[in-house]
Amino acid sequence: MPLSWNRHGKSGIRLVKVRRPEGGEEGETHGLVDLTIDVQLEGAFEPVYVDGENTGCLATDTMKNTVYALARHDPIDHVESFGLRLAEHFVGRPLVERVRIAATEQRWERVSSGRGPHPHAFVQPGGEQWTALVVRDRTGSSTVTSGLTNLVLLKTAHSAFSGFPRDEFTTLPYTEDRVLATSVTASWTYRAETTDFSARDRIREALLETFAAHDSRSVQHTLYAMGEAALSASADAAEITLAMPNRHHLLVDLAPFGLDNPNVVFVATDRPFGLIEATVRR
């Protein structure tokens, strides 16, 4: 029976690129592009399917590596132009007759404060939700807890993780320069006599500004600083609980392709992830 149609490719390629100025200096402004890319090839691949003959089969892992390698030097000013660059590369491979490149860009905006946009801290718009919980018992005692969830933040500088203990199962290297990304869930409980709940905006701003400006030695270190800043922003908040999953951005090893990677090209992973939680009380 004839094979009437075929296509193969790599889907869900997570690419994060940090645009760093050449010869970067302290206080430099970084750019950020966050893409999920699908590469699909159509062509004369019948022998691969029918006969198990892989001579002309471009491995999907090669497609993934190609995306990262071409991203190293391409500025990716526009996702469309990068898609054309990829398509041009793949359509030149043996047996390939048609290339389909699909890309989804995750939007990021700069964290802004009274001092203006931050040069290397970003917030992802659209998914954040605000929460409130009121509990009252028959004695008339009430507890009010406000919060927010899915506040997605990322910073491309002033984040490190080193000095942790090493044993025979430790493979994570020490680093003084990494991408720190998280999705913040915060809940703060007000003093019993509180009637003005307008502090939410001040607490949120304190969380954002501290995340952006803090010289982080770990997610735990930054979480505590954010909790302190949130309580300082509102005298009515008695305590705050923060949960901050570490959304890992792993540096892609481009050495096999003869390329360096000075903290520019990353793969974003969502599982497994570190989950850091703590309560800071006044």
Per the residue annotation, which of 17, 30, 64, 248 is the catalytic one? 248
Angle at 57 between CA 56 and CA 63, to 5 degrees: 130
The first and second tokens of residue 277, run together, are 């939680």
60 has catalytic annotation: yes
Selected catalytic residue, list 36, 60, 62, 194: 60
| Spatial distance between the Cα atoms of 187 and 145, rounded to a whole number of angstroms | 6
Q: Where are the alpha helices (DSSP H) in the chain?
A: 46-50, 60-73, 79-91, 200-213, 219-233
Residue 8: burial class (beta carbons within 10 Å; 0-12, 13-18, 19+): middle
Element (H, E) at 16: strand 8-19
CA quadruple 253, 259, 264, 269: dihedral, nearest 10: -20
Phi-psi group of 150: left, alpha or beta (phi > 0 → left; psi -120 to 50 → alpha; rest → beta): left
248 given a catalytic annotation = yes
Active site residues: 10, 60, 248
